[in-house]
């Protein structure tokens, strides 16, 4: 568990392989249940379709977690989950139409709501202290860092797309 008490705690120490799978799957189930009403608000899907879609995503996460733990080289769990999602929805699979049909209707923006709510609750005293100590100059520099990275990436991507296509 990450409880930030000093700056050193910001350094990522534990890797995702140390996550206990059973406990993670239980938390994942609760998080998925929280998503049910959100999907019902965000989409026109029936309750059955929402449950089916979330169950499919739950399955992908579970496979990703197992791979994180047992594959001999390390990737973060979210990278494995992403790769499982990609691998199982490649167009040549016999289940392609069926599986993409199950997950297609799920609203991705609504899926991002619970993590941000947890993130808002998880802001620690240390983080508030660092923000106060750093002051508005670091805030402005941070904004420029984000703008610079985003616009820099978009500019390079735009240029590359125009020369390659």
Q: Which residues, 15 to 74, sit near another protein by CB under 8 A?
A: 16, 22-24, 26-28, 30-32, 34-35, 37-38, 41-42, 54, 57-58, 60-61, 64
Nearer to another protein, 47 or 138 (CB): 138
Q: How many residues does the chain have?
A: 165
Nearer to another protein, 46 or 78 (CB): 78
Binding flag, residue 87, another protein (CB under 8 A): yes
Kindly identify the residues of this chain, within the stretch 133-162, that bind another protein according to CB under 8 A.
133-134, 137-158, 160-161
Q: How many binding residues for another protein (CB under 8 A)?
A: 101
CB 4 within 8 A of CB 126: yes
Q: Is 18 helix (H, G, I), strand (E, B) or coil?
A: helix
Nearer to another protein, 31 or 45 (CB): 31
Sequence-distant (6+) residues with CB within 8 A of 36 are 47, 50, 51, 54
Q: How far is the CB of 34 from another protein (least distance, A)?
A: 5
H helical segments located in the chain:
21-42, 47-70, 77-88, 96-104, 108-111, 113-122, 125-164
């Amino acid at each position: 568990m990450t409880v930030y008490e000093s700056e050193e705690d910001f350094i990522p120490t534990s890797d995702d392989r140390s996550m206990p799978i059973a406990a993670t799957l239980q938390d994942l189930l609760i998080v998925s249940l929280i998503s049910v009403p959100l999907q019902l608000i965000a989409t026109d899907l029936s309750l059955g379709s929402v449950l089916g879609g979330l169950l499919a995503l739950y399955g992908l996460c579970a496979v990703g977690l197992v791979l994180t733990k047992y594959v001999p080289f390390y990737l973060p769990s979210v990278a494995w989950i992403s790769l499982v999602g990609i691998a199982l929805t490649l167009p040549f699979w016999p289940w392609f139409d069926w599986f993409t049909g199950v997950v297609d209707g799920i609203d991705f923006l609504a899926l991002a709501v619970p993590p941000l709510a947890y993130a808002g609750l998880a802001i620690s005293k240390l983080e508030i202290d660092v923000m106060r100590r750093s002051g508005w100059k670091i805030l402005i520099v941070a904004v420029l860092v984000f703008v610079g990275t985003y616009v820099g990436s978009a500019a390079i991507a735009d240029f590359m797309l125009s020369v390659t296509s």
